C-alpha cells in the first residue's frame, strides 16, 4: 500500500518495498467521559478565573494533556500548600481525601472538584458503609491517588487495602461478619473477580457494592483488547506509566498471549521489537488523547505499508455533567 499522502493514480506510483503491517485498532480506546470532563473543567476554570489556575496532581495521568493545559495557563502541583493564597485550584479526576477541600475552604481558596463522578460514587458508598458500622475491604493499588482519595473519605482504621488474591486469603479481620468491599475504578476485571470470589468464599456475609465499582471505561477498554488479541502478534498501548487503567490494558494483552508494551508517544516505538510482527494491535488508555494514536499510525506508515482496521467491542455514549459553577447551561 502506498503512503497515505500519495495521491497519484496507482499505475503512476513507484513500487512499494516496505514490509506490510496490519494495524488492528481497538475500540473503545482513549478518553473516557471522566477525563473529557476533567480537562474541560480546567479549561473553563481558566476562562472563569484567568491564569494561572492551579491543579492539584496531574488532572489525568497523561503528559501530553498536562503539557497542553500548562501551555494554556494551568500550574500543576502535588499538594495544596503549594497553592498561593487567593489562587483558584482544581482537584484531579482521581479524587482527593476529604481533608483537601476542607483545607481549601479554611484557606478561603476557590476550588473546583474534577473528581470523576464514578469515583465520587465510590466515595459516597464508603462514607455510608462506615456510618452503618461496616469495616471496608478496599481492592486497589497501594499509593495510587484514587486509593489515597477514597481512604481519605473515612476515619483511619475503617478501611483495609487488599491488593492481591494472596492478601484476600491472608486477611484476618477482627469482625468477619461485619465487612463490606469496594474497589478502585481502574482495576483488572479478571483479577478483581478472582479477589472478590475469595472474599465471598471466606466471608459469606460480606456486603458488596450496589453496582460494579470498576468503571464502564476500564471494563470496555479491556474487553476491546480481548476482542482483537487473538488476531494480533503484538500490541502497543498508548498511556503513561502512572496510569492504572493503561497498565491494565498491557496486562490483558499479555494474558491473552500477545506481547505488549506501554508507550507514551510514538517516538518510544522500538522498531526492533516489531520485527516479524504482521498484525499489530493498538489501543490507548482512558487518559490518552486520540491525536497520539494518529501520531503512532503516521510514524508506523513511514516504515511499513500499513493497513488500518478498527474493531468496536462496545459502543460508548457516556457524558458527565459539568459542575454547576462552571456550566453555562446549568
Ligand atoms: O487509570 P488511572 O486511575 O491511573 O487514571 P488516568 O488519569 O490514567 O485515567 C483516567 C482518570 C482519571
Ligand atoms: Fe471516570 Fe473511569 Fe474515566 Fe476514571 S477511567 S475518569 S473512573 S470514567
Write the DSSP string, 217-235.
HHHHHHHHHHHHHTT-SEE
Judge contact between 136 and 196, C-beta under 8 A: no
- Domains of the chain and CATH, by start: 16-31+216-312 (3.40.1010.20), 33-116 (3.40.50.11270), 118-202 (3.40.1010.20)
Measure the CA–CA gap between 297 and 29, rounded to whole angstroms.
Answer: 15
Instruction: Give the pLDDT of residue 247.
Output: 98
User: What residues does ligand 2 touch, defined as CB less than 6 Å away?
Assistant: 32-35, 93, 116, 118-119, 185-186, 215, 217-218, 245, 286
Determine what percent of the chain is predicted with pLDDT higher than 90: 92
Ligand 1 contact via 145 beta carbon (within 6 Å): no
Q: pLDDT tens for residues 175-200?
A: 999 999 999 999 999 999 999 999 99
Q: pLDDT tens for residues 62-108?
A: 999 999 999 999 999 999 999 999 999 999 999 999 999 999 999 99
Q: Which of 65, 186, 220 to mutate to test the pocket of ligand 2 (most atoms within 8 A of CB)?
A: 186
Tell me how far the alpha carbon of residue 119 lies from the centroid of ligand 2, in angstroms. 7
Q: Which atom of ligand 1 is nearest to the CA of 59?
A: 7
Instruction: Give the pLDDT of residue 9.
Output: 78
Instruction: Give the pLDDT of residue 5.
Output: 64
174 against 7, higher pLDDT: 174
Question: In this structure, what C-alpha cell is assigned to residue 303?
Answer: 516504515
Question: What are the residue numbers of the active site?
Answer: 146
DSSP β-ladder status, 20-27 and 279-284: parallel
Tell me how far the alpha carbon of residue 151 lies from the centroid of ligand 1, in angstroms. 17
Instruction: Give the pLDDT of residue 329.
Output: 65
Judge contact between 186 and 116, C-beta under 8 A: no
* Average pLDDT rounded to a whole number, residues 231-236: 98
Tell me how far the alpha carbon of residue 185 lies from the centroid of ligand 1, in angstroms. 9
Instruction: Give the pLDDT of residue 139.
Output: 98
Tell me how far the alpha carbon of residue 60 lies from the centroid of ligand 2, in angstroms. 10
Tell me how far the alpha carbon of residue 254 lies from the centroid of ligand 2, in angstroms. 23
Long-range contacts of 263-266 (CB under 8 A, 24+ apart): 263/236, 263/237, 263/238, 263/296, 264/63, 264/64, 264/238, 264/239, 264/240, 264/292, 265/64, 265/238, 265/292, 265/295, 266/292, 266/295, 266/296, 266/298, 266/299, 266/300
Q: Which atom of ligand 2 is nearest to the CA of 33?
A: 8
Ligand 1 contact via 288 beta carbon (within 6 Å): no
Q: Which of 32, 56, 93 to mutate to test the pocket of ligand 1 (most atoms within 8 A of CB)?
A: 93
Confidence of residue 24 (pLDDT cuts 50, 70, 90): very high
Instruction: Give the pLDDT of residue 314.
Output: 95
Amino acid at each position: 500500500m502506498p503512503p497515505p499522502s500519495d495521491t497519484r493514480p496507482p499505475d503512476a506510483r513507484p513500487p512499494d518495498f516496505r514490509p506490510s503491517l496490519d494495524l488492528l485498532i481497538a475500540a473503545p480506546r482513549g478518553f473516557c467521559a471522566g477525563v473529557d470532563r476533567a480537562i474541560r473543567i480546567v479549561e473553563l476554570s481558566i476562562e472563569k478565573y484567568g491564569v494561572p489556575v492551579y491543579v492539584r496532581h496531574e488532572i489525568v495521568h497523561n503528559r501530553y494533556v498536562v503539557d497542553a493545559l500548562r501551555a494554556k495557563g494551568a500550574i500543576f502541583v502535588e499538594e495544596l500548600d503549594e497553592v498561593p493564597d487567593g489562587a483558584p485550584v482544581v482537584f484531579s479526576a482521581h479524587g482527593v481525601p476529604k481533608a483537601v477541600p476542607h483545607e481549601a475552604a479554611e484557606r478561603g481558596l476557590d476550588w473546583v472538584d474534577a473528581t470523576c463522578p464514578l469515583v465520587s460514587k465510590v466515595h459516597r458508598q464508603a462514607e455510608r458503609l462506615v456510618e452503618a458500622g461496616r469495616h471496608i475491604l478496599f481492592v486497589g493499588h497501594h499509593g495510587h491517588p484514587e486509593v489515597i482519595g477514597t481512604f481519605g473519605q473515612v476515619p483511619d482504621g475503617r478501611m483495609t487495602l487488599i491488593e492481591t488474591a494472596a492478601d484476600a486469603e491472608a486477611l484476618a479481620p477482627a469482625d468477619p461478619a461485619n465487612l463490606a468491599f469496594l474497589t478502585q475504578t481502574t482495576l483488572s476485571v479478571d483479577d478483581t473477580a478472582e479477589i472478590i470470589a475469595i472474599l465471598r468464599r471466606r466471608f459469606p456475609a460480606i456486603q458488596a457494592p450496589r453496582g460494579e465499582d470498576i468503571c464502564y471505561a476500564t471494563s470496555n477498554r479491556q474487553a476491546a483488547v480481548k476482542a482483537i488479541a487473538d488476531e494480533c502478534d503484538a500490541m502497543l498501548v498508548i498511556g503513561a506509566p502512572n496510569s492504572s487503567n493503561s497498565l491494565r490494558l498491557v496486562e490483558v494483552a499479555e494474558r491473552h498471549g500477545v506481547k505488549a508494551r506501554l508507550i507514551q508517544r510514538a517516538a518510544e516505538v522500538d522498531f526492533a521489537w516489531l520485527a516479524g510482527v504482521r498484525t499489530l494491535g493498538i489501543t490507548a488508555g482512558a487518559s490518552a488523547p486520540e491525536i497520539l494514536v494518529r501520531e503512532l499510525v503516521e510514524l508506523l506508515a513511514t516504515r511499513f505499508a500499513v493497513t488500518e482496521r478498527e474493531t468496536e467491542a462496545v459502543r460508548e455514549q457516556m457524558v458527565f455533567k459539568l459542575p454547576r459553577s462552571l456550566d453555562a447551561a446549568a
